[in-house]
Structure 1
Amino acid sequence: MSDTQLLQELETLRSDIRRHNKLYYVDDNPEVSDAEYDRLMRRLQEIEAARPELITPDSPTQRVGAAPLKEFGTVTHNVPMLSLANAMDEEELKEFDQRVKRALSTTADIEYVFEPKIDGLAFEAIYEHGVFVSGSTRGDGVTGEDVTQNLKTVKAIPLRLSQELDADGKPTFPLPSRLEVRGEVYMDKADFAKLNKEREQTGEPLFANPRNSAAGSLRQLDPTITAKRPLKAFFYALGQVEGISFASQFEMLAMFRKMGLPTAFHYRCQSIEEVLQRYHELHERRDSLPYEIDGSVVKVNSFQLQQELGMISRSPRWAIAFKFPATQETTTINDIIVQVGRTGALTPVAVLEPVNLRGVLVSRATLHNQDEIERKDIRIGDTAVIQRAGDVIPEVVKIIDTKRTGNEQKFVMPTQCPVCKGAVVRPAGEAVHRCTNHDCPAKQIGHLEHFVSKRAMNIDGVSSKLLELFIDNGLIKDAADLYSITKAQLLPLERMADKSAENVIQAIEKSKQPELWRFIFALGIRHVGEHTAKVLAKHFGSLDKLRQATEAELTTVYEIGTEVAKSVAQFFQKPETDMLLKKFAAAGIQIVNPQSAAGAQPLAGKSFVLTGTLATMTRDAAKEMIEKAGGRVASSVSKNTDYVVAGSDAGSKLAKAQQLGVTVLSEEEFQALLNE
């Protein structure tokens, strides 16, 4: 066979296998038997084995082939993978509809797209010119784990996008030059049961539920293990896209299927009443579906309206997760204990007779606070109906008082902290009781665990148990004391050998130059999570400027609301905060902020959108330059956009900028702006 004939057979085989994958995973309409499919794949493998120089990265044979990783790398999403607000009943869904209408200044019905909420693991896949190049988990929404090799093993995820051809053999639509597409990896219920049966036979621990098995499978460091797991995927959202545009969610999902990206069933609804009808239908057929769902997702269909609605903090205003009523079971409350958190909040927790709720063995349930206990008249020894709220958090729904024997005991919140015996108070206007002892070990441990955690100061090897030893032996009272610990003080501690002590000292020393956002996050300010810490670090550029900011100044910061502003301002006004920060400074903590290291920030407060191909830099490099100069990069053009940077082959975003009168910069003009 000549090389030309061989290449033709190769391309035909690859094309046929991709087509059959689409028919099986996307169209649910296979045309060949498994045996015939296997025959095609074996022939392709034979040719590539004989001529390895002809193997291409997007060949169907390249699902597995990478060596096991030592650890996952991290990926920053160009567009954050936002979480959704929840509606737990019809009233909350209707309130969502009213909020949308108010924001759009309309009383007319809104067109929504209704989709099932798949209970799996969210991920992002990136395609360049139709070829899969990388993939990552959702992570915290901003940064995820690089699971490219594992995603390549999931057969439902195409390695090359499809194109429909017209009668003349020409594509009916262009493949995007770059497509960042979001979806969910999941496992069918039948495949999950089969996997657990196999694990039971080999003596391996069983997975709790399909979601747990899908998440564990995708996060294997060895992609050959992932390849053996029966994973599937659905796609439902976009990150950045270049070279193609969509007017609506419904249109986008239709195009996904044409490209070979599988989607779950979905409906276009002309009103919130039609959404409710679809929801009830879905609830009825939930158990008959081959995969687990925990509700539905409702999205405003029009992308233009989505853009107008925007987002709040880390969730969009134009979408909501409409959850199913939680699964309920009956069990006994054996005891009620109190846990103390790092803010000093006392939380009563019911100790339950263990019961299985949708694949999860539940032995404890939060009781929230004393008011909740009194409202539901919960007593130790009661028979209770429990549920996983939103199919996640166990809680007591109600007590079955007809089963009471008279031996049940009422619970009263303690007046002394169960950890330190300090006074417990209930601040006016709050439902939560709090320990007032600043030196309470539970509060100390909670703060310290947060301070040393990976996403905060990242002090490796300093565990909760070690922190307890530090406190019990009088070595520390607060986080700043960590930096005065010596090796000589560590050696007498339980199970602390010379090498272990040296590792701890080195880990603490290594953390002395934290990035500004990490340090802000590590301080444990109420309502300040990782994302908010990054927002504050970017806006103020230094800890001193943040400390001096008033509550009013903080509320003007993009994405900072009144509650967060009040919490931050109050935190830095406390005398104990001032003393703690002085101790950090004396210990040699030197906070760095890469975003302001270059000095002036000429683009502070400016919003940019990047489109087209830049000649002298990648999009990621341009984004980094903008952020270092104080600017913000958005994924779509709106009236709030300050500049659009347009490279070659700029498409719909350029047209949108011109329509709205947004300033368009060439690459040269952009660089000149940076250098001002």
Structure 2
Amino acid sequence: MEALVKELNQHSYNYYVLAMPTIADYEFDQKLAALDKLEKEHPEFADPNSPTLKVGGDITKNFTTVPHRWPMLSLGNTYNEQDLRDFDDRVRKTIGDQFQYVCELKFDGLSISLTYEDSKLVRAVTRGDGSKGDDVTTNIKTIRNVPHQLKNEAVPPLFEIRGEIFMHRAAFDRLNKEREELGEVQYANPRNFAAGTVKMQDSKEVAKRPLDCFLYSLNTDKNYFKTHWESLENLKEWGFNVCEHTKLSSSIDEVLAFIQYWEEARFKLSYEIDGIVIKVNSYAQQQELGFTAKSPRWAISYKYKAQEVETILEKVTYQVGRTGAVTPVANLKPVQLAGTTVKRATLHNANEIERLDLHEGDSVFVEKGGEIIPKIINVNLEKRKEGAVKVNYPTLCPECNTSLIRKEGEVAFYCPNDEACPPQIVGKMQHFIGRKAMNIDGLGDETIETFYQRGLVAHISDLYTLHEKSDQLKTLDRFGERSIENMLKGIEQSKQMPFEKVLFGLGIRYVGETVARKLAVGTKHIDKLTSASLEELVAIDEIGQRIAESIIEYFGKPEHLQQIDLLKGYGLQFEVVEKEITLESDKLTGKTFVISGVFENYSREELKEMIENNGGKILSGISAKLNYLVAGDNMGPSKLEKANKLNVPLISVDDLLELLK
């Protein structure tokens, strides 16, 4: 069990946090299932930080505001050497010359305070306004580097540890690409993504997001250590993730050398930093130096200036994504920035082009600070050439010439011609074969591109006719008999993928993995989904109006329904295969239920299982046939109104338990 915990924690970290898996998903799942089984058989040996616990599950209606036991003050900061030397002079005037500094990387993330009592994590609170913050304990418990329980017996009975929640660049890029494919607005930088994730209401969704955490500060009622450096060394021994790039310095010159080194070396890190934090090491000397109203006098942060260069905007091009979203890209005269050659910069959308008032040939300032992708921050108007042509966002799709549309409340323009616009067709097929959708071995993005260009495929359904075109396949470069055989085998095996995977693979806008699963469970069959009304869709767990409208729009196109008919004919799964349930009793037989809202002691899945295990049936929406609406907090007003209109009895969880007695 110990060996499995150690191995799985490392694999989880590689996969979720670093986005660099070293083991196949299936193998990981098998090992996790084996550990879960052992933990049930031998609970006395279960590790409190087991990867089986890092999955989330609770829904938070709203976050409770909690006062900080020790205020979370912000640090004074500077961008220049002289301010640091002045800080050093002030410190020396108060405590003399015998002291040391601790230099730490300043992570670009979200500050968090963790409270441990009797070695157990009891509370995680955001910085908030410094005196109080939001209780986000359930979400923070899903982070793989945050221990739930400490094994070291030497820890204080009550202490608070502070740190930073952040996201690695590779994971940020992967998740932002997924958002782009779903037609959702991308996050500008990893910090925003991390902050948005910590505030999500469903901890199951938080668990899927690859967050990491560095801890760097200990607070206790009495001093267990004499220095900050000593406390950091002990935090490592207690099992906390402390950054290795920390240095003990004896002079301000050593501090400045550390700052200078990391100004360039920071770009080699897998995460973002925006400066260096400098702290007086001795706790007694910290106490002597004291605090101002806003910050400690014994610490300061040096912030790196966002790197900025000036270059020429050569032209603006437009990319059409899988969902039809048209994204403008600035093509620049190549220039060195933050250790890399920058040739392109994001322009986000039409609003950004208008805000910058871009003209062809403009001299522009490009920045790569907290943003992973370089961006144009402004234009050098003094260098604008006379008669320069203003950059206007196109009204027609740059790929297929169809008129672009922009829906109310959205910033992006879209090409609606999804069945004939080349990048959309290719993108759809590439999405369909992907690991999270149909997972077709032997097929890759480049192969799909080649097949499309050669006229072998023009729709998803055409993939299932490739076995009839083996003679044409053999004429392609680097496509031998073995490759063709593997590909056709992968296509055939994909016919066994469950309904939810097929649904996700269709690439309906806003329908990600989780939504596809909810829709599959809520409708059970594609025919019910294609004919569902807006009201019926919104009644499904976690399906909002925007998603419902997108689904209705998708299935409202005859060509999409034609594709589904073809895929049905080829044997793909368009129905949920119900698991055989061994009934615990028949007390709810013949009764139908809908579960809605948030429950204090049970998840919806647990309630659903409880009902089905006792003979009851779960319906996807409220109708006159419904026997009971199990109502929790925060239930949608439309469901409540409809239930009252149809005189459907509302029952609580306690009422449900009473029915089972």
- TM-score for the superposition, normalised by structure 2: 0.50
- TM-score for the superposition, normalised by structure 1: 0.49
